Structure 1
Amino acid sequence: MFTPSPYGWISQYFTGFFFAYGVYLPFWALWFEEQGISPADIGLLVGIGFATRCVANLLLTPRIHKVEHLMPAVRAFSLAGLLFVGFHFFTGGSFWLMALATVLFNLCCGPIIPISDAMANYYSRLKMLDYGRTRLWGSVAFIAGSTVVGYLVSLYGSDMILYTAMVGMLVAFIFSMRKVNPMPVTDTRQPTQRPKLGELLRDPNVIRFLALVALIQGSHAAYYSFSTIYWKEAGYSEAIIGYLWSLGVVAEVLVFALSKRLFVGWSLRALFVVASVGVMVRWGLTASTTALVALVAIQMLHGVTFAVAHIAAIQYIQVSDQNRMVALQALYNAIPLGAFIALMTALSGWGYENWGANVFWVMAVMGALALFIRAEPTTTNTQDNKAALEAQN
């Protein structure tokens, strides 16, 4: 328990962090609304959060390129994240203080995801764990966080959003303080200098990869920011909304758990095409109806629009050499999951205020555009890359 295996350490850390993330992602906009913030300003605040994660992942995360530095970084960011969630209590309804709290928290939250994923990738390459089965515990915790906070908010009010998120971050920090057996060690047979992001961004394959994932994952911007408000306006309670978010992550968990069986022999192109078609169907339905049966189907598609695309992205990153792995992971989280979602979130705030649910049609079009982009990984070590893909599949 106190010196767990790599699978135990990472899956348990994912449990604490993604419990907090399951509170943050679906309900932070609702907390802003309860503080009197307008939909357009909510879009800006949530967009600021994504933009901050982008900056953090471009400037901070790539500096942690040696695997033995990953664990201390996770510990430091987890402690700081816990403190900055608490800072939200002192914003007093001020937009600018809320913006400051958002920036501070996301400076910590942003690097945690790629750094912890990089640890999982490191041990996955060594065949000490299965990434999908490890990552699914984060998804289970996300379900627990969104379900618990939805219930607590319906009983005690929106401040429970902050209290519940703090509990998750505290658990994550406590789990992170343990050692793991074996500890991560950089492979000295590979170059250890910090890779330059500029060089990666001049690689056409990397650019196509980032653009493709940006369209698929960026299509979730309106969902992350306004689905809770949209469904509440349609007459659903906070508890029902929490269950709907949880259902989406149930689908995600199933895909992660069965990924080895489901996708053995699948190419990266096939995985990305399935995700793109899922985007078109999911957001088209979201724009068209709020019937509960349809919402159930919409949320089950989260296993396609998010999980399948994420697995494909992780496979793309795993075929890189160890020295580029953290940098690619940082770019993946900084640009598709950070900058582009920040842009789309800000635009969706304006779009939701003016068009209502029709903003989801814009998200559906992004899936259609993704079908035209083909991303192939740049390989540097054929045997290592083949082994990495075999371990993932």
Structure 2
Amino acid sequence: MLTPSPYGWISQYFIGFFFAYGVYLPFWALWFEEQGVSPTDIGLLVGIGFATRCVANIVLTPRIHKVEHLMPALRWLSFAALLFVGFHFFAGGSFWLMALATVLFNLCCGPIVPLSDAMANYYSRLKLLDYGRTRLWGSIAFIAGSTVVGFMVAKFGTDMILYTALVGVLVGLIFSMRSINPMPVTTAEEHAERPKLTELLREIPVVKFLLLVALIQGSHAAYYSFSSIYWKGAGYSEDIIGYLWSLGVVAEVAIFALSKRLFAGWSLRAFFVVAAVGVIVRWGLTASTTMLLALVMIQLLHGVTFAIAHIGAIQYIQNSEPHKMVALQALYNAIPLGAFIALMTTLSGWGYEKWGANVFWAMAAMGVLALFIKVEPQSARGAKVMEPEPQN
């Protein structure tokens, strides 16, 4: 279809981008390791990537606040990301070139996530799609990416990480070149002046929201950067590692697919309490054992530690004033999913080199802290979340 529905366009774009992300997130650290990079420097490189996303989401993302600008921005960012994945082929062996490639790729990758989510939020508010059902296609693609690249690396070596990522970004770019029916148009309500990020950061409820999701999502830092290396050191092959990552996202898909049924009437507080308890259990187990059965349980908890927290965050953003939505989405991706994870990733690299798997106990402690932060919805209509929406 050359002019798909909002659900079709956004879900298909998610497929291409998150396929590439399913390659990048689990396996880039293995590619760095193959280039002779130490664990501390791997943590630094991955942290640089998250920090770059933070800067991009603070500087670039809020400037694209009109919904009709979201689609062109995604096209250009996807094209640039394709080029910068390819640049990694020329960067191997040089730390500084790898750092430059990391910065360039994440300058594009960073804004893609909040801008595509902003499009999904826009059409969700118009009752033209269900965010959970739309976003689950990205999770399915993540599974495909991590599974395929695990098999390819085991058979043909770590360069397949780059080739597989290139395919995903190219597919996303091709899907993004189509129009959408109906096209996004900024409404009078959304024409209100875009709030400055500094003003939002002076609002106590916003600060509490960002701190809470930073603790929950930031607890994944050691997992994103070192779980593949940790499990490989425990004797698991790359394809098994790929399957484990895929299993985690299977749980994520199930949560997104069933979100309307599972969470109808849930308060915002309930989402974050459940996610925080999941953080404590998941990373405590990760620090304690590498038995395959335990790893399966650990990965199934990804549906709790990531997906439930993400749905809560998206509901908080959707229930904000319309002209604040992109700015809040930018802050969510810049601080909890960018700056804080960058900091924790860098510290995780140092911690993993010093203490090995015990670094995951620090991740579990972040869940304990999260239990003490209470976030209220932004408006009265956010008192209960996950209202029923029409099926696509």
Q: CA shift at 1:336, angstroms?
A: 0.2
Identify the residue that residue 25 of structure 1 maps to in structure 2: 25
Distance in 2, Cα, partners of 1:264 & 1:203 = 28
Identify the residue that residue 267 of structure 1 maps to in structure 2: 267
Distance in 2, Cα, partners of 1:336 & 1:117 = 16
The question of whether the paired residues in 1 share the 8 Å contact of 2:254 and 2:303 is answered with yes
SS at match of 2:36: coil
SS at match of 2:258: helix
Tell whether 2:370 aligns with 1:390.
no
Distance in 1, Cα, partners of 2:322 & 2:384 = 13
SS at match of 1:127: coil
Q: CA shift at 1:389, angstroms?
A: 5.2
Identify the residue that residue 376 of structure 1 maps to in structure 2: 376
Distance in 2, Cα, partners of 1:293 & 1:211 = 33
* Residue identity in the other structure for 2:32: F
Identify the residue that residue 66 of structure 1 maps to in structure 2: 66
Q: Which moved more, 1:314-323 or 1:12-21?
A: 314-323
Q: How does 1:161-310 map to 2 (within 5 A)?
A: 161-310=161-310
Distance in 2, Cα, partners of 1:251 & 1:392 = 22
The question of whether the paired residues in 2 share the 8 Å contact of 1:222 and 1:348 is answered with yes
Q: CA shift at 1:172, angstroms?
A: 0.2
Q: CA shift at 1:195, angstroms?
A: 1.6
Identify the residue that residue 47 of structure 2 maps to in structure 1: 47
The question of whether the paired residues in 1 share the 8 Å contact of 2:64 and 2:70 is answered with yes
CA deviation map 1:14-40 (0-9, x unaligned): 000000000000000000000000000
* Residue identity in the other structure for 2:142: F
Distance in 1, Cα, partners of 2:247 & 2:229 = 17
Distance in 1, Cα, partners of 2:79 & 2:322 = 27
Identify the residue that residue 95 of structure 2 maps to in structure 1: 95
SS at match of 2:175: helix
The question of whether the paired residues in 2 share the 8 Å contact of 1:54 and 1:339 is answered with yes
The question of whether the paired residues in 2 share the 8 Å contact of 1:136 and 1:257 is answered with yes
Q: CA shift at 1:295, angstroms?
A: 0.1
SS at match of 2:363: helix
Tell whether 2:3 aligns with 1:3.
yes
Q: CA shift at 1:219, angstroms?
A: 0.2
Question: What TM-score do you get using the length of structure 2 for normalisation?
Answer: 0.98
Identify the residue that residue 346 of structure 2 maps to in structure 1: 346
Distance in 1, Cα, partners of 2:313 & 2:92 = 40
CA deviation map 1:321-345 (0-9, x unaligned): 2211000000000000000000000
CA deviation map 1:261-315 (0-9, x unaligned): 0000100101100000000000000000000000000000000000000000000
Tell whether 2:350 aligns with 1:332.
no
Q: CA shift at 1:192, angstroms?
A: 3.3
Distance in 1, Cα, partners of 2:121 & 2:232 = 38
SS at match of 2:194: coil
Q: CA shift at 1:388, angstroms?
A: 7.9
Identify the residue that residue 82 of structure 1 maps to in structure 2: 82
Distance in 2, Cα, partners of 1:318 & 1:274 = 20
Distance in 1, Cα, partners of 2:128 & 2:27 = 35
Q: CA shift at 1:391, angstroms?
A: 5.1
* Residue identity in the other structure for 1:284: G
The question of whether the paired residues in 1 share the 8 Å contact of 2:377 and 2:383 is answered with no
Distance in 2, Cα, partners of 1:227 & 1:362 = 14
* Residue identity in the other structure for 2:264: V
Tell whether 2:119 aligns with 1:110.
no
Q: Which moved more, 1:186-195 or 1:85-94?
A: 186-195
Structure 2 unmatched ranges of 5 or more: none
Identify the residue that residue 121 of structure 2 maps to in structure 1: 121
* Residue identity in the other structure for 1:358: N
The structure 1 segments of at least 4 consecutive aligned residues displaced by more than 3 Å after TM superposition are: 189-192, 385-389
Structure 1 unmatched ranges of 5 or more: none
* Residue identity in the other structure for 1:239: D
The question of whether the paired residues in 1 share the 8 Å contact of 2:13 and 2:175 is answered with yes
SS at match of 1:167: helix
Tell whether 2:312 aligns with 1:315.
no
Q: CA shift at 1:386, angstroms?
A: 7.3
Identity in percent = 79
Q: CA shift at 1:191, angstroms?
A: 3.6
* Residue identity in the other structure for 1:367: G
* Residue identity in the other structure for 1:58: I
Q: CA shift at 1:189, angstroms?
A: 3.4
* Residue identity in the other structure for 1:87: F
* Residue identity in the other structure for 1:292: L
Distance in 1, Cα, partners of 2:281 & 2:132 = 24
Distance in 1, Cα, partners of 2:52 & 2:93 = 21
The two structures, once aligned, show a CA RMSD in angstroms of: 1.3
* Residue identity in the other structure for 1:68: E
Q: CA shift at 1:174, angstroms?
A: 0.3
The question of whether the paired residues in 2 share the 8 Å contact of 1:66 and 1:192 is answered with no
